[in-house]
Each structure stands twice: as C-alpha cells, then as structure tokens.
A and B are shown apart, each in its own frame.
Chain A
Amino acid sequence: MSEVEAPAAPLVLVVDDVDHGREIFAEYLEFRGFRVATAADGLEALEKAFELRPNVILMDLSLPGIDGWEATRRLKQDERTRDIPVIALTAHALASAHEKAREVGCSAVVTKPCPPKELEQEVRRQLAAIPNTEDKT
C-alpha cells in the first residue's frame, strides 16, 4: 500500500462484523489494486466514512449496535458522505431485506455467499457510475 503513489487508487471501505468476511473481500480487493479500509460495526463504519471519505462502501446489513440499514441512512443524510455509493452485502436471501436496503439508499445489493470476483465487478460498476471519478486500476 505504501508502494502506491498518488494519484491514489480508489478507496473501498469494507464493513462487516464477521472477521473472515471482512478479511476475504479486503484482501482480494487490495490484491486487485484497491485501497481498502475496514470497519467491524456501524459506529466505526460511520467514523471511518466521515474521516476517510472512501470512493465505495461495502456494507454488511446485520451489524451489532447501529445496523447496516441505519448506518446507510445516516451516511445518505450527511452532506460529506451522501454521494458515496453503498453496496449492501448480506446473507439474507429474502426479498424484503433487499428492498429495505434500497429504500435507505443502497445502490446495489449483493447476496452472500458471493465469489470475490463478482464483488469486484460490482465495485467497478459503481465506481464507473460516479461522475469525476476515474477507474485507475
């Protein structure tokens, strides 16, 4: 990470309370050339998002304390983070969980288990949809 100089690669914030979940996606994305930050709960996710202003956020929905839906709602209410695309990442397969995620402002919903490669493709789709942001990888 330190080897990469500016212009910096897109920063992805991976939020998941499960360690291996966080680790798999973070490791894979770094391997694929992204900068990655992680958060293990909703509160930390909000602090990191406000502080780091990532380019994309991967948000697990079932989180202790502030859950993924609530965290997303707050991000979308804050000027600083309003335009950051949030990809919901969930093990819930029911349609109702997905709808609720879109309602609070998620740009996409990815169901776990998800091959890391497919997730990378979704991240790139979201980045491409943001104006003024170029895919540098």
Chain B
Amino acid sequence: MGSKAKLSLVEALLAEQEPRACVVLALRWLSRHAGVERAVCAMVDGENGRLTGATGMGLSLAAVDAFSLDLGDRTHPLIIALDGGEPVAFRDSGQTLPRPFETPLGNAPFHAIPLAGTGNAPGIGLLLVSGGDSPLIEDVQWAADLLANRLAALQYNRAQIDDRRHRRERSWLFSIINAVTDPILLTDADGRIMIANAGAERLLTTEEDQSEGRRRAVALNNMLFSATLFNSGGGAASQELVLVDPSEGQELLFEVLRAPVRLRPGEPGHVSVLRNVTDLRRASEEIEENLRRLRLAEAATRAERDRLDLTLNSVFDPVLVTDPEGKIVRMNPPAERMFTVPPGSGGEEVERRVRINDAVFTSFVSNLYAGQSQLWRGELNLLDPETGAPAPFEAFSGTVLSKQGEQTAAVTILHDLTEALEKAQLYEQVKHHSEELRERVREATAELAEQNELLRRQAFQLEQASAMKSQFLANVSHELRTPLNAIMGYTHLLLEGVSGEVSRAQRDKLARVDANARHLLAVINDLLDIARIESGKMPLQVDRVRLPELIDEVMSEVEPVIAGTQLEVSRALSPDLPEIETDRQKVKQIVLNLLSNALKFTPQGAVAIRLDYDREADEIAVAVSDTGIGIAEENQKTIFEAFEQANSSYARRQGGTGLGLSICRRLAQLLDGRITLVSRLGEGSTFTLFLPRQERGI
C-alpha cells in the first residue's frame, strides 16, 4: 500500500483531539485501505475493572454497547489476548478456543489486536477486526499501533489535565468546607474520620505539642461523636450533640445532620454536619426573653395608653394629638365635638364648620412643625359645629420628640376663651363701677369728715353752751328765789299779824301778792325742771311700780280740787295690768299734770282716767279724757311747746305755768314713752301716756 494513504491517517489522527473520533477515523481508514469489513474497539475502564465496547463499524450500536468483559476474568481468551500484547487470530471461535465466547463480530474469523499503552503500561484497549478473505493484517497492525499511540498520548494529556483540575477542585472543595464554620466530617463504616474540615479539626483532632487538657477534651469529643454515629440507627434524622470547646472549655450544643454516602463500591460511609446551635439556643432564649419583655412593655404601653385616654377624656378642654404630617391621630371628646361630624346629625352646615375648624387647626399645627420652637401658643377662631357661633380658643402646642430628637407627634390643648373674654369684659365693667364708687365714697368720706369736724365742733360748743345754760339757770333760780323768799316772807308776816292787825282790804291785796309769788315760784321750778331734763341732769330712779297704787295717790292729791268742781270723775283699770319698771316719781308727775289739766280745762261734764295693757306692744296706756274746751287742730302740734297755751287768758285764770305739757312730754321721752293727743275744739281732749312695761335702757 502507498505511504500516501498511511500519511493521510497520521495527519488525520494528529489533527483530532477526541479519542472516540480518533477511533472512528482509524476504523474508517481500515475499511478503506486494509479490507476490514467489520470492527469493534473496546476500551479498558480501569475504574469499573471492565473492558467495554466503545466504537463499532459495520455493527449495530446495541451490539457494541452490549460488549463488556470483566478484566478480572483471566481465563477469557480476549482478556488473555489483551494482556499478551500481540495480535491474535481467531479462525473459528466456536471450535478452536479453549472456552466459547461471543463477540459482536459473530462467528466469522477475526483478529484481536491489543492497543498497547506507552512503555510498560497495560493495554488501553482491544481492537477486533474481520473482513473478506484476508485482511492486510500488517496494515491493521500498523494502524492499531498508530491509534494506540495517539490514544495513549491523548489519554496522558487528558489525565494530566484532569489531575490538575481535580487538585484544583479538591482545594476549592476544601476551601468551601473549611469556610463553613460548622464542623463537617466524612467517616467510614467503622467510624474512622476520612475527611474533616477546619471546624471539625478544631474539635476532634489534636497535635503533639498541644496541652493535656485540650487532648483530653478532644478525646472526649471523639467518644461523644462516635456514640452518635452508632446510635443514629443509620438514619438521616438529626440528633443533638454536646461537645466541649477544647480551647475555651465551654460546652457547645450541636445539631448533627447526617447523610449516608458510598466511599467506594461496597464501602458505605457518612457525612456528618454539626450545626452549632449554642448561639442559636442562646439567641432563641434571648428572643423568648425579648418577646416576654416586649409583651410586658406592650401591656404597659397599652395600660399607659388607656390611662392617657382616661386622662385626656377627663380633661374638659379639647386635646388633640397630631402626627408630623399634621393628621389628627387622637383626640378627647371635647375635641371630637369641635372636629368631627357626629354620626346621624350630619347636615351640610355642620360638615362645613368642621372642615373650617380642621383647616384652621391644621394651619396652626403646620406652623408648629415648621418652626424651631418646641412650644407654640396661638389663638384659633373656630366655629361651634352645632350652632355656628364663634368659638375663640387659645391653643398651646408642644412637640413630642423621639430619643433621636425627631418630631414624632404634637399635642395641642385648646382653652375656651369665650368665658375668659366675657369675664374680662365684666371685669372691666366692674372695675369701672368700682372706680366710680371709690370716687364717690372718697367724696362722701371727705364730706363726712368735714361734717363730722363741724358737728364735733358744734357738739363741743353745744356742750359748753348747755353746761353754761344749766349753770346759768341754777344761778338764776337761786337769785330769783332769794328775793322771792323776801316777798313771800314779808307778805306772810303781814298776813299773820306780826306787825299788827291788817284791814280786810289790806289782807285781800296781800293775798294777791302771795298768789303771784307762788305762781312765779312754780314757773321758776318748771323752768329748772326743763333745764335739768335737757342738760341730761335729771336723775332717774327705776323701780317696780304698781300702777293702781300710783293712781290712788294721784286721785287723793287732786281730791281737794275735784271737791271744788261739779265734775264727774271716773277711773277704769284693766284687770291684767302688770307691774312696770320705771321712775315712779316721774310717772306720778306726768299723770298728776295731765289730770290737773283735765280738771282745769273742763268747766263741766266728766273727766275719766283709764289704764290698759297692750300685750303685743308690751306697753301701758294711761289715757286721761275730758269733756272740756278742747284744742283746735292748728294748736295741737304746738301744745307741747314751752309757754304754749291754747287759750292763754283762760289758762292764766287757771294758774298754769304753760310749761306742764312741755315737761310731761320730755319726761315721757326720758322714760322711753310718749304722749299723744286726740282733741276736738269744744268737745274735749284725750291725752294718752304710753310707757314700756320694761325699761329699754337709757
């Protein structure tokens, strides 16, 4: 055959990198140039210990795939041929072989050519060929050697590449498993550790130079770990394992995850992953503790919020809490009244007012968030949603800051100013009135002080004048009495005949002198009485007085006068007359005076004295009535004045001084009583003395 054909195969094989493609090229070349009709190339599978059909020519794929021999079967003719290293020709497989075997080539005679490895290496495969009458066996041998060389070279390159790749991958794998902090271990069926990552080594392996304590800890860990291997029952269920940290000495809790693996055919093993759950347990405990605290805090917060709600609800003023966007997040009932539409009572007006209020409030709160100040005060003119009446409020806002100093909320309290404004107005009015009043009081006080001063001066002057008057009257009285004494004395001497007998005419005239002297004396005595009463120097002697006895005395004293008249004199005393507290002498003087007057001014008819007790007013009435000349109405008011006598000429005839009633009235006043008069001219008069039953105190 030509060298050109051989060269083409060499070039083709060198250009091809893929072993299977090289085999196909070689088989095609044999069919074209060496008369081979059918062929099978089987390759040694060192890993599985078999010789397996790889590529065929002129055969079915299934037949090629089915071809597989055990390399350990040393008596098989093809295994012997592979090991022999030389081509073997099988003429008739059924008859000439020490034991029958089958090939994909069938019963036709074939050649088995081993594909030798490089150097002393074992054969890498076996080429079986058959064809025609006589295949050019030498060319087949050449092509088989060439293919074997090419395959061996390719296999060597591939092995080297694979080896590098394996080593690299191995180092990556170790990096990976070492990077896993959880200990990872591969153990064989006896529990021996085949592979351990760094985490596992730290717990389970030791070196010579390490401390006794650490070695003991590691030994203990190994025992504990082995125990789990054999207690697991081979399942993949997770277990808990407690180991000792050899360097720290503290207990570590692991969860063991275990998966069975096959180390080699027939050699089972286990991969164990120890997940350190110590921290997890601690973390879990911490989480539980935190959860518990959280719940407590939540409960406390809820209680706090409830309390806050209660507090807010108990505040009479509206209180609102807003978030940083100005949205109302919480409010108490008074605030709700201003800022929400009550359900059911809608009405567009109410909604409109609530919207206005909300806008006013939002604008106020936005100031607060915009400003730097934490406190804000302002006045809001809101509307009462129900009535639409203006509702002025004073607003106080404060922002609530988080620990980081962010504004988280704002609390606003509204204070109703309506009342305050009304009060302020009222206060102004009151103040105004008060000022006016004060001014008036000041004026009045000044005037009073002035008048007081005037009065005091007048009182002093009056007192002085009164004292002087009293002294003057006393002196006058004394100085009048002395000459009067002479007049009356000498008159008496003459009348008594001390200086000899007097004629009848002389006696009459001396009697006139005496009568006038006596009248003058009476006037002087009455004047002195008035002076004493007015100057407060009339002493009172208050006693219990029985009025019937007193009336008896008065009657007996006037008896001579009555006897000289034709008058009918009667008296009527009420049976329930009480004793009274008064000055007996003064009462007697008054009654005597009134009765004397009645007798004097009643030419004819009757005089009656009547005593009654008014229980309700607790006073005594002593009424003296007559049917006398009476007193004209115009004179009734002045009748009690000094020297006033209604009918002067008549009175003078009767010998009155004109001072009697004046003294009576003054004495009655001195006794807390009074004298009244009822009279008609020509018909008669009734004078009534009223006296309190008890002295009211002077």
- A contacts, CB < 8 Å to B: 18, 20-21, 24-25, 27-28, 31, 62, 91-95, 111-117
Contacts and interface: CB of A to CB of B under 8 A. Distances in A.
B69 interface: no
B525 interface: yes
B477 interface: yes
B539 A113 contact: no
Contacts of B492: 24, 28, 115-117
B478 A24 contact: no
Interface of B is mostly: helix
B521 interface: yes
24 contacts: A18-B486, A20-B490, A21-B486, A24-B486, A24-B489, A27-B493, A28-B489, A28-B492, A28-B498, A62-B478, A91-B477, A92-B477, A93-B477, A93-B528, A95-B539, A113-B481, A113-B484, A113-B485, A113-B486, A113-B488, A114-B485, A116-B489, A116-B493, A117-B496
A21 B482 contact: yes
B474 A113 contact: no
B487 interface: yes
A93 B525 contact: yes
A94 B532 CA distance: 9
Given A24-B486, A113-B485, A115-B489, 13 more contacts: A18-B482, A21-B482, A21-B485, A27-B493, A27-B498, A28-B489, A28-B496, A92-B474, A93-B477, A94-B474, A113-B481, A113-B488, A116-B496
Nearest to A62: B478
B517 interface: yes
Given A25-B489, A115-B492, A117-B492, A91 B481 contact: yes
B482 A112 contact: yes
A113 B517 contact: yes
Interface in B497-521: 498, 517, 521
Nearest to A115: B492
B521 A113 contact: yes
A111 to B, nearest CB: 8
A112 B488 CA distance: 10
B312 to A, nearest CB: 89
Nearest to B538: A95
B486 to A, nearest CB: 4
A94 to B, nearest CB: 6
Contact of B478 (A28, A31, A91, A117): A91
Contacts of A31: 493, 496, 498
A24 B493 contact: yes
A62 B489 CA distance: 19
B489 A20 contact: yes
Contacts of B484: 112-113
Contacts of A18: 482, 486
B411 to A, nearest CB: 91
Nearest to B489: A24
Contacts of B488: 113-115
Contact of A92 (B478, B486, B490, B521): B478
Greatest chain A CB density within 10 A among B490, B517, B539 is at B490
Greatest chain A CB density within 10 A among B479, B484, B485, B521 is at B485
Interface string B391-417: 000000000000000000000000000
A112 B498 contact: no
A113 B477 CA distance: 11
Nearest to A89: B485
Contacts of B528: 93-94
A117 B487 CA distance: 14
A50 to B, nearest CB: 28
B478 A20 contact: no
A115 B489 CA distance: 6
A75 to B, nearest CB: 23
Contact of B485 (A91, A94, A95, A117): A91
Contacts of B489: 20-21, 24-25, 28, 113, 115-116
Contacts of A28: 489, 492-493, 496, 498
A101 B15 CA distance: 187
A27 B193 CA distance: 182
A3 B132 CA distance: 244
A105 B539 CA distance: 23
A20 B498 contact: no
A123 to B, nearest CB: 15
B478 to A, nearest CB: 5
Nearest to B480: A91
A92 B521 CA distance: 13
Contacts of A92: 474, 477-478
Contacts of A25: 489
A87 to B, nearest CB: 15
A68 to B, nearest CB: 13
Given A27-B498, A95-B539, A112 B493 contact: no
Contacts of B478: 62, 91-93
A115 B515 CA distance: 12
Greatest chain B CB density within 10 A among A21, A92, A115 is at A115
Contacts of B485: 21, 24, 91, 112-114
Closest 8 CB pairs of A and B: A24-B489, A113-B485, A91-B481, A112-B485, A20-B486, A113-B488, A31-B498, A113-B484
A93 B530 CA distance: 13
A24 B491 CA distance: 10
Contacts of B521: 113
Contacts of B486: 18, 20-21, 24, 113
Contacts of A113: 481, 484-489, 517, 521
Nearest to A111: B481
B634 to A, nearest CB: 35
Interface in B450-482: 474, 477-479, 481-482
Contacts of B496: 28, 31, 116-117
Contacts of A21: 482, 485-486, 489
B494 to A, nearest CB: 11
Contacts of A20: 486, 489-490
Given A31-B498, A92-B474, A117-B496, A24 B490 contact: yes
A25 B496 CA distance: 13
Nearest to B499: A27
A91 B481 CA distance: 6
Nearest to B477: A93
A92 B471 CA distance: 12
A18 B498 CA distance: 20
